[in-house]
Chain A
Amino acid sequence: MAEAHPSRSEPPPASTIGAFGWLRRNLFSSPFNIALTVLALYLLYLAVPPLLRWALLDATWSGDSREACRANGGACWVFIRVNFEQFIYGFYPEAQRWRVNTALLLLILGAAPLFARAVPVKFKARLGLGLLVIYPLIAFVLFKGGLFGLRVVDTSRWGGLLLTLVIAGVGMTAALPLGVLLALGRRSRMPAIQTLCVTFIELWRGVPLITVLFMSSVMLPLFLPAGMNFDKLLRALIGVTLFQSAYMAEVVRGGLQAIPKGQFEAAAALGLGYWKTMALIVLPQALKLVIPGIVNTFIALFKDTSLVLIIGLFDLMNIVHNATTNPAWLGFSTEGYVFAATVYWLFCFGMSRYSQNLEKRLHTGHKR
């Protein structure tokens, strides 16, 4: 009887594995694909070398006046270096800048445990809540001064990245709870509450932020009793917060609608009242569902802080723009805008990456 000897299996063809196989599959699989690859390479050839030459190779890095940039054709990063402190702190008095740094350091130290996996959740929750309540007070006292012998620094001198972060931070911490309340109101069974919330939300969502800021700067003085005056920064903060809370409400409502009725019924069967049902059963699930939406709103808020330029606040955007119109540094607006764009981009991209990470970590259901 003959024995069957299976012949040894051949290795896969060299053209389907390794780097060569990858290239064939992803870049040269069909004539159309080849054409696309060539087109993409041509576009890259057009864009990348000049960009690299401008930003790095021909750029000027050292020196302290515009004359230093004359010789090279590329970017003049000296402009950024000379103005860097102003871009970060605005017109905050130089001798007092340690206060801003201290506040930032405190924030980093305080928030670091929140991001560490080893710290127990319960401690994180308490720390987070504490930070939310106490940190703004500390930061406000440090920035503004007037207590403990700190010199008063008027809010009109706050500027640059500091101001952008202040507006974004306050806006985010205030817009989320407000948005949750509005969303609950919109889903409420009380007709009056529902109407009020729907009107509020649709009104703010229907108009551009710029008109809201306009309104807060020209109409607020008319609305308030004579002599009572609001800080310009506070007006911007109120405008940005109310505006984004309407968007936040719609995001949260999406999450609330996705929670099955059984959850409400189970909570009622356990004897929980409205607020306990919401706080312990519904909101934790609903908010988890809409993390991407919440972070998108945060990102939109962060980008929208640049609009405070309209009412004359010197945030990062405005201070960079202001520096480009400085007669001593005319002609370097591209460098200025590229710098500002990079800063905004880092924050926004960082937030979106973190939210994707968070989504993955909080996904407690079955993964497919």
Chain B
Amino acid sequence: MAAYTLTPARPSFWNNPEIRAIAFQIVALAATVAFGYYLFENTQTNLRRLGIASGFDFLSSSSGFGILQSLIPYSETSSYGRVFWVALLNTLLVSALGIVLATLLGFVIGIARLSKNWLIAKLALTYIETFRNIPLLLQIFFWYFAVLRAMPSPRQSLSVGEAVFLNIRGLYLPAPQLQPGFGWVLAALGLALVLVAILVRWAHRRQLGTGRQFPAISVSLALLLGLPLLAFWLTGSPLVWQVPELHGFNFQGGLAIIPEMASLLLALSIYTAAFIAEIVRAGIQAVSHGQTEASFSLGLNPSLTLRLIILPQALRVIIPPLTSQYLNLIKNSSLAAAIGYPDLVAAFAGTVLNQTGQAIECIAITMAVYLTISLLISLLMNGYNRRVALVER
């Protein structure tokens, strides 16, 4: 009897998947490197031909233009590097405010979408379907050109209680002026925070040890509000509201919000809120009704059920897409360039680039900033996600 040896047939050299994989990767890498080199060579030639010196020296030369809004001292003699920081802070300011507003509005509308009240649910649905299907740029233009640019002149300003004024130059709010002694109020707030931290820890330990609960939330709130208010009263109200006043052709004093910022903020929060609302709705619906029933059968009351059972599970579903909406909002804030709000793209990748001609450097810095923000937030969120993710076998 002949013995058959069962060795798998060896594939020929070119049909071997491993060798093919290596060859394929070498070709892909070589093509990428060659393409990159081609671009680099072209750029070098073009820069030499146009007489543009590359490098980041331009950042220290004087800019010579004014900026509508800056959070740090800035004048026309400041350097281009200073423009970068002003622009970056403006981007971060409008993004941070937008994220807060969009989250508040989005959660309210997302919950309203699930309301048992038919009318409220339908209103929320209409809001969502209207605003998420219209381009953001169009919404920004609408608020800027059709609404805020159509406001009356400062003399005929719309006003709320002679304290808040709205006109073509922007929105004017009363500004808080801190008087000496306000430091005590802040100190009281700090003390309250420390006390609350100790209290919460103690209450938790007592509940674990004895099973008895302590109304930690209401006591903490009382501490947080009470101590600063007490300090405020004791030091004789060291806070004055400076109301904007009409002097000549414009308002002086108070807190002025330029129309560019107001319309960008409005459009960003309204647009993003529509997406957040859908995320919130999906997250809440993802927690099965059995969880609620199980919680009730264990004897938890509705508010505890919401806090301990539904919210932690819903947040696990909500947080990842919510983060990507925040990232979208930050990236979308760059549409400011279209209405001239001095953000990173408008002031730095726009004005500075046009003045200096350093296209590669300006665009590279701008892109690097957005990329850094994106990657940072992604890293944070991935960490959070790992912590709350379902632990399975």
The residues of A with any CB-CB pair to B shorter than 8 Å are 26-27, 29, 33, 36-37, 40-41, 43-44, 189-193, 196, 202-203, 205-211, 214-215, 218-219, 221-226, 299, 303-304, 306-307, 309-310, 317, 321, 324, 331, 333-334, 337, 340-341, 344-345, 348-349, 352
User: Do B135 and A344 touch (CB < 8 A)?
Assistant: yes
Q: Nearest Cβ in chain B — how far from A85, in angstroms?
A: 21
Closest to B112 in A: A36
User: Do A215 and B363 touch (CB < 8 A)?
Assistant: yes
CA distance A205 to B370 in the complex (A): 10
Known: A26-B117, A33-B116, A221-B46. 11 other contacts (CB 8 A): A189-B21, A205-B374, A208-B331, A208-B345, A211-B345, A218-B359, A222-B359, A331-B150, A334-B146, A340-B138, A341-B138
User: Do A26 and B116 touch (CB < 8 A)?
Assistant: yes
Closest to A305 in B: B135
CA distance A303 to B46 in the complex (A): 35
CA distance A222 to B353 in the complex (A): 14
Contacts of B374 in A (CB 8 A): 205-207
Give the interface centre of A210, A341, A349 by most chain B CB atoms within 10 Å: A210
User: Do B119 and A27 touch (CB < 8 A)?
Assistant: yes
User: Do A352 and B133 touch (CB < 8 A)?
Assistant: yes
User: Do B138 and A206 touch (CB < 8 A)?
Assistant: no
Contacts of A337 in B (CB 8 A): 138, 141-142, 145-146
User: Do A40 and B119 touch (CB < 8 A)?
Assistant: yes
B97 CB-CB contact with A under 8 Å: no
When A196-B32, A207-B331 are in contact, do A321 and B141 touch as well, CB less than 8 Å? yes
When A226-B45, A226-B49, A349-B133 are in contact, do A218 and B353 touch as well, CB less than 8 Å? yes
Contacts of A191 in B (CB 8 A): 25
Closest to A346 in B: B133
**3 interchain residue pairs of minimum CB distance:** A348-B133, A26-B118, A192-B25
User: Do B371 and A207 touch (CB < 8 A)?
Assistant: yes
B53 CB-CB contact with A under 8 Å: no
User: Do A208 and B135 touch (CB < 8 A)?
Assistant: no
In the complex, 22 of the A-B residue pairs with CB atoms within 8 angstroms, ordered by the A residue number, are A26-B116, A33-B117, A36-B117, A36-B120, A40-B123, A190-B21, A202-B375, A211-B334, A214-B345, A218-B353, A218-B363, A219-B360, A219-B363, A221-B46, A222-B43, A223-B39, A223-B42, A225-B45, A303-B133, A304-B135, A317-B137, A334-B142
Contacts of A193 in B (CB 8 A): 24-25, 28
User: Do A211 and B366 touch (CB < 8 A)?
Assistant: yes
B77 CB-CB contact with A under 8 Å: no
User: Do B119 and A37 touch (CB < 8 A)?
Assistant: yes
B338 CB-CB contact with A under 8 Å: yes
Closest to A39 in B: B120
Closest to A299 in B: B133
Contacts of A27 in B (CB 8 A): 117-119
Give the interface centre of A43, A192, A225, A324 by most chain B CB atoms within 10 Å: A192
Q: Nearest Cβ in chain A — how far from B43, in angstroms?
A: 5
CA distance A333 to B150 in the complex (A): 10
User: Do A303 and B335 touch (CB < 8 A)?
Assistant: no
CA distance A317 to B335 in the complex (A): 14
Contacts of A29 in B (CB 8 A): 116
Q: Pick the contact of A214: B28, B116, B136, B363 (CB < 8 A).
A: B363
When A40-B117, A211-B366, A226-B49 are in contact, do A341 and B142 touch as well, CB less than 8 Å? yes
Contacts of A321 in B (CB 8 A): 141, 145
B69 CB-CB contact with A under 8 Å: no
Contacts of A37 in B (CB 8 A): 117, 119-120
B134 CB-CB contact with A under 8 Å: yes
Interface residues of B in 199-230 (CB under 8 A from A): none
Q: Nearest Cβ in chain A — how far from B242, in angstroms?
A: 32
Write the B1-28 contact mask toward A (1 if CB under 8 angstroms, else 0).
0000000000000000000010011101
User: Do A211 and B363 touch (CB < 8 A)?
Assistant: yes
Contacts of A215 in B (CB 8 A): 363, 367
Q: Pick the contact of A196: B28, B47, B118, B149 (CB < 8 A).
A: B28
Closest to A33 in B: B117
B130 CB-CB contact with A under 8 Å: yes
Write the B336-363 contact mask toward A (1 if CB under 8 angstroms, else 0).
0110000001000110010000011001
Contacts of B136 in A (CB 8 A): 303
Closest to A191 in B: B25
Contacts of A219 in B (CB 8 A): 359-360, 363
User: Do A307 and B120 touch (CB < 8 A)?
Assistant: no
Contacts of A196 in B (CB 8 A): 28-29, 32
Write the B293-310 contact mask toward A (1 if CB under 8 angstroms, else 0).
000000000000000000
B115 CB-CB contact with A under 8 Å: yes
When A210-B335, A211-B367, A215-B363 are in contact, do A222 and B47 touch as well, CB less than 8 Å? yes
When A214-B345, A324-B145 are in contact, do A203 and B371 touch as well, CB less than 8 Å? yes
Q: Nearest Cβ in chain B — how far from A355, in angstroms?
A: 13
Contacts of A218 in B (CB 8 A): 353, 359, 363
Contacts of A41 in B (CB 8 A): 119
B153 CB-CB contact with A under 8 Å: no
Q: Nearest Cβ in chain B — how far from A146, in angstroms?
A: 29
User: Do A223 and B43 touch (CB < 8 A)?
Assistant: yes
CA distance A44 to B119 in the complex (A): 10
B332 CB-CB contact with A under 8 Å: yes
B76 CB-CB contact with A under 8 Å: no
CA distance A287 to B135 in the complex (A): 26
Q: Nearest Cβ in chain B — how far from A201, in angstroms?
A: 12
User: Do A214 and B370 touch (CB < 8 A)?
Assistant: no
User: Do B370 and A206 touch (CB < 8 A)?
Assistant: yes
Q: Nearest Cβ in chain A — how far from B365, in angstroms?
A: 11
Contacts of A223 in B (CB 8 A): 39, 42-43, 46
When A33-B117, A337-B138 are in contact, do A307 and B335 touch as well, CB less than 8 Å? yes
Write the B304-342 contact mask toward A (1 if CB under 8 angstroms, else 0).
000000000000000000000000000110110110000
Closest to A217 in B: B359
Contacts of B360 in A (CB 8 A): 219, 222
Q: Pick the contact of B345: A206, A210, A222 (CB < 8 A).
A: A210
Contacts of B46 in A (CB 8 A): 221-223, 226
Closest to B346 in A: A210
Contacts of A299 in B (CB 8 A): 133
CA distance A273 to B370 in the complex (A): 41
Contacts of B45 in A (CB 8 A): 225-226
Contacts of B130 in A (CB 8 A): 345
Closest to A34 in B: B117
Q: Nearest Cβ in chain A — how far from B119, in angstroms?
A: 4
CA distance A324 to B370 in the complex (A): 33
User: Do B43 and A207 touch (CB < 8 A)?
Assistant: no
Contacts of B371 in A (CB 8 A): 203, 206-207
Contacts of B42 in A (CB 8 A): 222-225
